Chain A
Amino acid sequence: MPLLSVESLHSGYASGHGILRAVDGVSFHIDKGETLGLVGESGCGKSTLGKALLRLVPSSQGTIRLDGTDITRLSRRALRPHRRRMQMVFQDPFGSLNPRQTVHSLLDTALKVHGLGDRDERRRLAAEIVQRVGLPASSLTRFPHEFSGGQRQRIGIARALVLQPELIVCDEPVSALDVSIQAQILNLLVDLKCDLGLSYLFISHDLSVVRYFADRVLVMYLGRIVESADHASLWRAPRHPYTRALIEAVPSTAPERRRIAGAIAGDLPSAVQVPAGCRFRSRCPLADERCAHQEPALRQVAAGHAVACHFAEPAPFQNIEPQPRKTL
């Protein structure tokens, strides 16, 4: 049984012009010990999806199951023991840490809320976790503003970790950090995963980081998943034109890849007035008549590889063995 499974989840916000459908029918699962990457541009709904899983924003339809238990509509009280098992690390550690609480108090509060341990036990757990994330023991009596950006992110990780969760949703955890610090934090997350058997949902707009860090990847566009594959086949043989465009647009330091060719035009359309047919067609080089009328379903095109594109088989660009064209 997967650790987390999500079935046709919808989550939206009321806006002046109607409902903004941030997450618009998304299904996936996360296995125990797996790192699932979630990539997409800003506004695609990836952060809302991460928050909806933890019930930090409401979902209008669909189900979220943690270890088989449907938590979608549990009351606050009934949800609490499940919440302990799923924690979140945010992009901006400064914005997500109370500036008036010391590190010890931050960690202690999290433990108290979940009724874990007595005073001494909590003190011991806090001291242990601070050391585990690579901060000196003296950090416990200090306030968030006394730390650098990288160290603050370590505090954010410590706060998530102190509850001994099984799943951590990391929302752009290294995007605000400098390159040299990014590597420190990613190495820490890898160590924690290996030592504690954690599962991650790793949300990022940075494809390079996701390629390094994820076992399996979901690509999201305008509230829907357009491609889902294990890391080897996604990066080697991406099938959705949007995934290809994303990969193509990342500037490379490799000398043989000078100049980005054929960047896709235009912007993400509005999630309030979602276009009919395929949501990507306004920017797609392959779009034809069918794409304007019929929305492509996310369907399996190879083992562990699903794509929502009418042109996904046979693969239009890569040297993949030809497959018989399915009739739709």
Chain B
Amino acid sequence: MNAIMEATNLTVAFPGTVAVQGVTLSIQAGETLALVGESGSGKSATALALMRLLPASARILSGRVRFEGTDLMGQPAAALRRLRGKRISMIFQEPMTSLNPVMSIGGQIAEVLRQHESLSRKQARDRAVDLLALVRIPDPARRYDEFPHNLSGGMRQRVMIAMAVACNPRLLIADEPTTALDVTIQAQILELLDGLRRQLSMAVLLITHDLGVVAQWADRVAVMYAGRIVEQTTAARLFQGGGPAHPYTRGLLVSTIALDAGKHYRHARLHEIPGTIADAAGAPGCAFAPRCPGAHSDCLHRPPPLEEVGPGHLAACFAPLSNGRLSSSHGDDDALALG
């Protein structure tokens, strides 16, 4: 396996808050890595930092990002612009705000192509029509001249994907690409992305809060909480094998309501994670400690380092779980019921 992107000890600050704290992450060629977390966990700030697309108010305090062997931190703006949209591209949650409302959808795709490759207008138009067909927009030659407001949310996201893959990128960062879409459309879009990943052999960094999406479409998963990666493992190990090692990941899994588990309020109460993500703001220890059923005195003094707990499985916890259960000392013995 060779990493196409590696971030080392990345720390990003916004005025008054540190959004990302010492994140180390690598993405292998051709894989789908899911970055999971709740709002405020720093997952989007991490993605923007990888692209060097952070707003002006944010500062990268430390860390390195290497993409295909180049250090992105030292690159001038012009070099980054040549890279973005060509070698790395990104799609966002709300396609309507990412598309230009006064330019035809085909024209927007052609613009990306002509920005990065020397093509004539005619060649760019033909390629754009091919790309619309690639993302399965029906009747692409006619649709080329339509405007974003003519399209449904799912179709707009397809246009965004066509723009993102236009130059055969090695890495596509997808930030909550289906959160604004209905479940039937979500399945269409994620299947499309996964098909394109194989067809074009690109890697996908999939940012999501939905563990079902992770289980269905990711190879590996990194879980973020309050700016740090707290657990990193393969999707197979998390959902089928040993289960989670970090109590936060476990809390997420058991408080997710699974459709096929068939729980009903008359028979079963939902598992809650007490408190909120803000509970440990500014505290020196583990950020999850105030909400953790297994927290002890060590957890309050320093944050636990991200360490190997099994082959290819990292967790940042002083008392990692084995087999997805809390050890008896945690005083909470309900077993993890998946699915």
| A residues in contact (CB < 8 Å) with B | 35, 41-42, 148-151, 178-184, 186-187, 190, 205, 207-209, 211-213, 231, 235, 245-260, 263-265, 267-268
Contacts and interface: CB of A to CB of B under 8 A. Distances in A.
Most chain B beta-carbon contacts within 10 A, residue among A179, A180, A186, A235: A180
B234 to A, nearest CB: 12
Closest 9 CB pairs of A and B: A254-B339, A251-B212, A180-B273, A263-B187, A255-B240, A178-B38, A41-B182, A183-B270, A249-B187
B212 A183 contact: no
**What size tier do the contact residues of chain B reach?**
35 or more
A232 to B, nearest CB: 9
B140 to A, nearest CB: 16
Contacts of A148: 276, 278
Nearest to B238: A253
Nearest to B210: A251
13 contacts: A41-B182, A41-B184, A149-B39, A180-B272, A184-B274, A208-B256, A209-B257, A211-B264, A248-B187, A250-B183, A253-B214, A254-B239, A267-B154
B323 to A, nearest CB: 15
B183 A249 contact: yes
B78 interface: no
Contacts of B252: 179-180
B262 A211 contact: yes
Contacts of B260: 252, 254, 257
Nearest to A150: B276
A259 B216 contact: yes
A135 to B, nearest CB: 13
A260 B195 CA distance: 13
A116 B152 CA distance: 46
A184 B184 CA distance: 27
Given A190-B269, A250-B259, A179 B209 contact: yes
A256 B240 CA distance: 9
B330 interface: no
A258 B260 CA distance: 13
B216 A260 contact: yes
Contact of B212 (A187, A205, A253): A253
Contacts of B269: 187, 190
B239 A253 contact: yes
Contacts of A231: 264
Interface of B: 38-39, 152-155, 182-188, 190-191, 209-217, 239-240, 251-253, 255-260, 262-265, 269-274, 276-278, 338-339
B182 A253 contact: no
B255 to A, nearest CB: 4
A227 B271 CA distance: 30
A251 B270 contact: no
Contacts of B273: 180, 183
Given A150-B276, A246-B184, A212 B270 contact: yes
Contacts of A35: 265
Contacts of A180: 38, 251-252, 255, 272-273
Most chain A beta-carbon contacts within 10 A, residue among B182, B211, B265: B265
A42 B256 contact: no
Nearest to A42: B182
A15 to B, nearest CB: 13
Contact of A179 (B186, B215, B256): B256
Contacts of A182: 255, 257
Contacts of A265: 188
Most chain B beta-carbon contacts within 10 A, residue among A35, A207, A258, A264: A258
Nearest to A184: B272
A212 B265 contact: yes
Nearest to A247: B259
B270 A211 contact: no
Nearest to B208: A251
A263 B188 contact: yes
Contacts of A212: 257, 263-265, 270
Nearest to B273: A180
B184 A253 contact: no
Contacts of A205: 182-183
B184 A251 contact: no
Nearest to B189: A263
Contacts of A252: 212, 215-216, 258-260, 339
